[in-house]
Structure 1
């Protein structure tokens, strides 16, 4: 039995755990104070701005080395945003949320720390602990869950893992950054109870229990004040109440006012060097508008972060090199994590696991649950061959090797087993990057302002993306233009499509002709959206198979690119093969499925429909994917649909297919993990971290766009996710799948639920203002379950608090495992915070009088046992 409700902290996770840690922390702080005392105002102000896109310092006079940040949270990209410098790609945060396993989250943090050290980064911008307020949020895939308890527990575990590895975690985006529309300017209007009980709750748990060394302020405003300047939430709640002693860093370009940020507690403005701090802050101090003591407080926290991460001379790092954890096998870790995240939504007649071989040690997993030998497998859907392994935007990394489902299946099948693949219609409206598989050989050539060649960089594909630095160390100010040059040798005769994607002026030449010479302009004013989701224009090129044609794409950079402060160059040459009519592609897939033992249909979202920088306008699968599934299912009763999406999608065919398996964005090892699960070598261990709707009109919270005043009211209050569905009228629409739902390859019987209330701590007044520990146990529960099936299995035991209805909420959870016929006990700790509610009038947490009803089950709607506490209130 493994208890995952709230694991203990490991040494090195933040605040001192014992005498030795306390002495080391005191030594760090003493060095910080000594450095601060000898610095002048201008030197202290320089510490508060980035020195580049990703770094702070170096400042030799302060003994400060170069402190490097890197994007996360599904990998560590480092300072280079290019396929030429690959990273380990982890499953998306929604996948991690689906594991419901704090131990796995801690392991993911350890792997992120390992990657950060390899990449030379000292702080990772992760985890994202905003909530799934609505499935229309464009960055839904980057957050864990709709529930603050699940989000907080997993987020805290990942923070511990990162910092146990000596790397600073940076939970983000503080706070209420739950959608993308007008995210720079939107003013979220939210009641204090809702803010406290939902959106602040994961951050509070993480700060109080995992002690992150940094935290990121969101772009948006809350109740009229932008978060980089929010004195009440930053200095009042975060620091004074919760005890946060780390660095509060702006989201990139999120610092807008010198006085507002300094008074609002923002320690670090990124990127740099041109920020609202530095000389602007020095002038404000000398004019008497900002006390120098304020600058000292901000600089002290930046120096403390440097000390903890080992880049401040004379200060012992929080985790010495000798205490670093053992290196993880990255390939094994991401593969196991992916399999544990897959959610089996439907499995009629035990069609899964299939009788497929596997590539691991030991005998094939035949026996109980296997559905019969598969001699012919029909695979359809573009996502089988071109899967989305991760979400778009700042979470994107480039893996060195990507296991596609199609390749993994082909590798696993023995001789004599047939596999046919038909891609079906392409659901994308934009062309993907030109690739070597399609016949392109490309090089990026950098030219100076005087037209002299400065450097060359071989390209893995047609995507050119550099941020903060250029190949060959070319100075940003010297760059005049970039040319993507090479050749294209097509495999097929016909009319190929070439595309230009980016912002600015472009000239595209192919086969001696100019296909385009013009300007591409972004929509809207969000600079990040222009970078992450730029426009694309497509052109036609007739070509013969095997005949090589020259290709050249010219992009003048100038002041609109590299000189904009980011050192940003980003554009893409796209390609599409000659078009085959969609109807013919569907017919091919249907014919193949009709002759197969099992039909696997892969469907999913695209980078156009799920990405940072833009919210979703519909939940339906893009293109004709729904039609593909329905028509394949009509000819093969053993149709298994694999859903490759980071957020809920509508599945109107779900009742017509034998099985539905959700793989999220599974990271670089998703293909092999899928074979593990399909063959039964691994059980699909995931449970839904968010509720999936059956129809668009049923979604209870839909608004992501601010009103004409720029305000986005959270008028639904605390009722999001499963609580919102419970709030609807009796007999109203049900979701397709409830929060917590997920099937395995065995059955579980819930035998008993026992509750005990430990004695309150004698020195714990619990007055709601930080006196006492809100995460000490209020109720301890033991749930005994029995594996009633024929296979070993894993169960996620979920404990809910409150009566049936919208007030019932997740209170604790645990992962257990048992052999067939075996029993397991899930020991769950319900924290005191779960039996409190925020009282807006007194602005304190108040206990909810008992007795309290607890319900244990397999999802928010599948309750197996209930029990009440004694009449006295637990806290």
Structure 2
């Protein structure tokens, strides 16, 4: 393969045949682009994504480093550590043979219900843009191409491919385009991914006003634009509109017969095609610099001690301490502690969908807390909080190995002679077979899998098994049919909204007895809910298993444990079953009986530390009674260890909320207009997203944007502001006046004295921040340089330009949006447009 120095894009472009040009502007499979060997154009590999590198497979994927979810990463408010996170993702890309990372995700959380809200960074455009830029710079520093997504207004999952976002030009520019503008200008990503949705009537993937006029001409960015997977909707319009690559392959819209005919008949101009190809060739040239070979091997060589140490530091820096009344935290390891809750022994390490990863390893709060103690703490699950039953694969045995023996056949179990084509031993319980390939498969991809393993219960009682599928499946225990997801199937949200609900069945089992568990699965063509035009490929299956509990009795047990221990750590929250791509949350409450569990345990022992894990806000109806509350997001591989480190003071919490936590769903700006209705979603809150809405409406919240406590105390003093026509200089002193080392985030907001006379404006807007680490007693000066026009402008719809109005403005400095302690003024002498 020639080096990038020898790869002359214009020369190569001139040598390509029309057929070759067309082949380059679409993928050839789920993860790869086309190669042209005669011109030394390699096939490039793309891979998810936003919080780690899956590699090329959903099914039986090579394990990976899993970073905290996007909202957690933004909660660090730390540009340096996010840069390092980007570097880690790039290192992972090398080990997976990946040239292009599909991330970061940087959409805006209009409200708390978005299925992929956890994937993105923030409700605030500035924080989202800065977080994305830092990660992008880290990725690109090692030569790997980054792909910020999903451009633009892809802020819900409901009917996402057809949903028309109706948004004012002002909100579009100030709220939704702004983070991408910041990321493009500062991060300089190599690629950009378009969204599924329409914006004001036009699918983004073919909207030349956004892709060509805005991104390329106005912003001056010249990278490669790809569609989201199956997010291309036309041939000619998408090429003319600026979409360089249709993904995935094989192509639906960019074949030689159609595009070639358009070129020959001059229905499509050759220059438009050449523009698309030129951008792909520039991406190829960029990828060549890495030296990563095409179709390279995937490995786990980055699963090192150094990787784990960084992930642990990163995860602990995401943790936000929300309440610590009477200095309940940190706990002493000498105290008698009980651990309770549905998230205690579960690794809620990532959300669902494209962000889900097969992690190198995971850590649970219970195990991590136990390692800190000289004894094994008392435990009760309290109640269940799962949508799908916990994975069976981790609970069963296949010989000496954990998991199922999987055998792939061409014929169903009813046939006496069957052709075995594959065999695996896998502990994973969910198998998305979208990319399962075998040379022996027929064209319709009809095949069958027999799963076999043995389950030995630790307790006698009733056990529940579950199956969710794209295809058909039945589960047998000692040859007795327990779950039937074949004879009658019901549509659900599993497998990117294509699969069934989880069908369940129960059976009484005896402690210590060995039971044979067998599942017979038929691939997607057997699916009775098969919809014409659906992308099912090999289908999917999820196998679940849990002991049936009496939740009321389990809560009583938890109460007794709470009474008999000095302190309680109560682990609650959501998981990837509830926060996932392809569907949105239906409410903001904790699932199941978690609220009741919390209320009863708090009554029994006020010295309870509640640890909530979710990627987006949940309601806390018991908040006034809680003395200790930690929000821990989805922390990746090291999430459990990070929680334990903060609880016992081995790490001083320094995360700040990247989202406002409202008291209830009805308080939120999108309560009346979040879903798609009759094909469109109205962004009726306009520019008043997140804290900008709550402040304008004077609405109380549970916890404000930017909020987070520490085990030490800080003082921010001596604000100095100087301004020129173009630049704003902000200087403050920060001192750690507490007894332990820690970190503080200085947050700079801008407000104006012009009021709402000309246009309605937020009370204040975040326009700068800096995180500073200080030893006990240490003091530092923070200096920030801000561009005046970026800090004070609004988008003038009448002029179709950004507008800076003359007048007095205020620099507001504090440690959250709701705790401003310093204020200084500056003046803009003249109004102007830009």
Change in Cα spacing, 1:547 to 1:635, as seen in structure 2 (3 Å) is closer
Change in Cα spacing, 1:140 to 1:436, as seen in structure 2 (3 Å) is closer
1:270 and 2:247 equivalent? yes
| Aligned equivalent of 1:8 | none
Structure 1 residue 87: deviation in Å?
0.8
Question: CA contact under 8 A between 1:451 and 1:480: conserved in structure 2?
Answer: no
Residue of structure 2 aligned with 1:694, choices 663, 667, 680: 663
Question: CA contact under 8 A between 2:393 and 2:426: conserved in structure 1?
Answer: no
Structure 1 residue 517: deviation in Å?
5.9
| 1:504-515 pair list within 5 angstroms | 504-515=471-482
Structure 1 residue 435: deviation in Å?
2.8
Larger displacement relative to structure 2 (78-87 or 294-303): 78-87
Residue of structure 1 aligned with 2:561, choices 583, 586, 592: 592
| 1:341-740 pair list within 5 angstroms | 341-356=318-333, 373-374=334-335, 376-414=336-374, 417=375, 419-438=377-396, 441-448=403-410, 451-470=418-437, 480-515=447-482, 516=484, 518=486, 523=491, 529-531=496-498, 534-557=500-523, 559=525, 567-577=537-547, 579-703=548-672, 705-706=674-675, 708-728=677-697, 730=698, 733-740=699-706
- Tell me, in whole angstroms, the C-alpha distance in 1 between the residues paired with 2:816 and 2:489: 47
- Tell me, in whole angstroms, the C-alpha distance in 2 between the residues paired with 1:473 and 1:692: 52
- Tell me, in whole angstroms, the C-alpha distance in 2 between the residues paired with 1:619 and 1:152: 26
- What do residues 660-719 of structure 1 show as CA deviations (whole Å, max 9, x unaligned)? 011000111111112221121211110011100112322222245555431111111100
Structure 1 residue 196: deviation in Å?
0.5
Question: CA contact under 8 A between 1:800 and 1:811: conserved in structure 2?
Answer: yes
Structure 1 residue 624: deviation in Å?
0.9
1:806 and 2:774 equivalent? no
- Extract unaligned runs of 5+ from structure 2: 295-301, 412-416, 754-760
| Aligned equivalent of 1:847 | 804
Structure 1 residue 874: deviation in Å?
10
| Aligned equivalent of 1:294 | 272
Larger displacement relative to structure 2 (603-612 or 559-568): 559-568
Question: CA contact under 8 A between 1:677 and 1:683: conserved in structure 2?
Answer: yes
Question: CA contact under 8 A between 2:34 and 2:44: conserved in structure 1?
Answer: yes
1:185 and 2:145 equivalent? no
Question: CA contact under 8 A between 2:462 and 2:508: conserved in structure 1?
Answer: yes
Structure 1 residue 736: deviation in Å?
0.6
Question: CA contact under 8 A between 1:54 and 1:468: conserved in structure 2?
Answer: no
- What do residues 805-859 of structure 1 show as CA deviations (whole Å, max 9, x unaligned)? 8331001000112222322212222233122221112222222323321100011
1:742 and 2:708 equivalent? yes
Change in Cα spacing, 1:566 to 1:283, as seen in structure 2 (3 Å) is farther
| Aligned equivalent of 2:756 | none
- Tell me, in whole angstroms, the C-alpha distance in 1 between the residues paired with 2:115 and 2:673: 9
Structure 1 residue 479: deviation in Å?
5.0
Query: Helix, strand or coil for the counterpart of 2:19?
Result: helix
Structure 1 residue 490: deviation in Å?
2.7
Change in Cα spacing, 1:704 to 1:432, as seen in structure 2 (3 Å) is farther
Larger displacement relative to structure 2 (670-679 or 686-695): 670-679
Residue of structure 2 aligned with 1:863, choices 813, 820, 828: 820
- What do residues 27-75 of structure 1 show as CA deviations (whole Å, max 9, x unaligned)? 57x6111111111111100001111011112321331222011011111
Structure 1 residue 83: deviation in Å?
5.4
Structure 1 residue 803: deviation in Å?
4.4
| Aligned equivalent of 2:102 | 125
Question: CA contact under 8 A between 2:524 and 2:540: conserved in structure 1?
Answer: no
Question: CA contact under 8 A between 1:621 and 1:649: conserved in structure 2?
Answer: yes
Change in Cα spacing, 1:658 to 1:558, as seen in structure 2 (3 Å) is closer
1:815 and 2:771 equivalent? yes
Structure 1 residue 481: deviation in Å?
1.9
Count of aligned positions = 800
1:40 and 2:17 equivalent? yes
Larger displacement relative to structure 2 (558-567 or 32-41): 558-567
Query: Helix, strand or coil for the counterpart of 2:486?
Result: strand
Query: Helix, strand or coil for the counterpart of 1:827?
Result: strand
Larger displacement relative to structure 2 (117-126 or 865-874): 865-874
Residue of structure 2 aligned with 1:229, choices 206, 220, 244: 206
Query: Helix, strand or coil for the counterpart of 1:299?
Result: helix
- Tell me, in whole angstroms, the C-alpha distance in 2 between the residues paired with 1:535 and 1:101: 40
| Aligned equivalent of 1:19 | none
Query: Helix, strand or coil for the counterpart of 1:802?
Result: strand
Question: CA contact under 8 A between 2:58 and 2:431: conserved in structure 1?
Answer: no
- What do residues 172-198 of structure 1 show as CA deviations (whole Å, max 9, x unaligned)? 000000111111110001111110011
- What do residues 91-126 of structure 1 show as CA deviations (whole Å, max 9, x unaligned)? 111110100111111111111111111011111111
Change in Cα spacing, 1:326 to 1:54, as seen in structure 2 (3 Å) is closer
Residue of structure 2 aligned with 1:284, choices 255, 262, 286: 262
Question: CA contact under 8 A between 1:431 and 1:499: conserved in structure 2?
Answer: yes
Query: Helix, strand or coil for the counterpart of 2:816?
Result: coil
Question: CA contact under 8 A between 2:351 and 2:576: conserved in structure 1?
Answer: yes
- Tell me, in whole angstroms, the C-alpha distance in 2 between the residues paired with 1:705 and 1:560: 36
| Aligned equivalent of 1:775 | none
Change in Cα spacing, 1:520 to 1:754, as seen in structure 2 (3 Å) is farther
- Tell me, in whole angstroms, the C-alpha distance in 1 between the residues paired with 2:376 and 2:28: 57
1:830 and 2:786 equivalent? yes
- Extract unaligned runs of 5+ from structure 1: 1-23, 318-324, 357-372, 761-777
TM-score under structure 2 length normalisation: 0.91
Structure 1 residue 154: deviation in Å?
0.8
Question: CA contact under 8 A between 1:676 and 1:682: conserved in structure 2?
Answer: yes
- Tell me, in whole angstroms, the C-alpha distance in 1 between the residues paired with 2:69 and 2:485: 38
Query: Helix, strand or coil for the counterpart of 1:399?
Result: coil
Larger displacement relative to structure 2 (549-558 or 238-247): 549-558
Structure 1 residue 548: deviation in Å?
2.6
Structure 1 residue 400: deviation in Å?
2.2
- What do residues 740-774 of structure 1 show as CA deviations (whole Å, max 9, x unaligned)? 110011112221111122464xxxxxxxxxxxxxx
Structure 1 residue 544: deviation in Å?
2.5
Structure 1 residue 448: deviation in Å?
2.5
Larger displacement relative to structure 2 (832-841 or 488-497): 488-497
- Tell me, in whole angstroms, the C-alpha distance in 2 between the residues paired with 1:394 and 1:869: 46
Change in Cα spacing, 1:529 to 1:634, as seen in structure 2 (3 Å) is same
1:308 and 2:308 equivalent? no
- Tell me, in whole angstroms, the C-alpha distance in 2 between the residues paired with 1:637 and 1:133: 35
Change in Cα spacing, 1:84 to 1:63, as seen in structure 2 (3 Å) is closer
